Amino acid sequence: MSNVTIYHNPACGTSRNTLALIRNSGTEPTVILYLDTPPSRAELLQLIADMGIPVRALLRQNVDPYEQLGLAEDRFSDEQLIDYMLQHPILINRPIVVTPLGTRLCRPSEVVLDILSDTQLGAFTKEDGERVVDEQGNKLK
């Protein structure tokens, strides 16, 4: 069993890049397709606590439920925001990666490099053509 877990959406380029960076370190992570298998309330609260971010920082804004529910308005409690994320998992921003070195919302994808214990095995270029790791496995930024 892997000691790295990614809450992944294969339709998301940032999520795909993050997964590829994890695999470029020689690690095969546990992949949770969170739209199909959303975290429980307790798991979501733990992820947010482990990331050390406000609940609102995990809200994905450019999706239909965000607009429909009026979530841009600052009138919702953290509990209400959690309720909406559990009812509409698409509202949970991604990818979230959990490793022994920490838990992060990996936006941009190269944030994952800060919490991987294994170094990159080789060069890595994101889907958009941006090189983020050189041939020696070093982070370029």
Catalytic residues: 12
What are the C-alpha distances in Å from 111 to residues 23, 84, 133? 14, 26, 12
Q: What is the DSSP letter of 58?
A: G
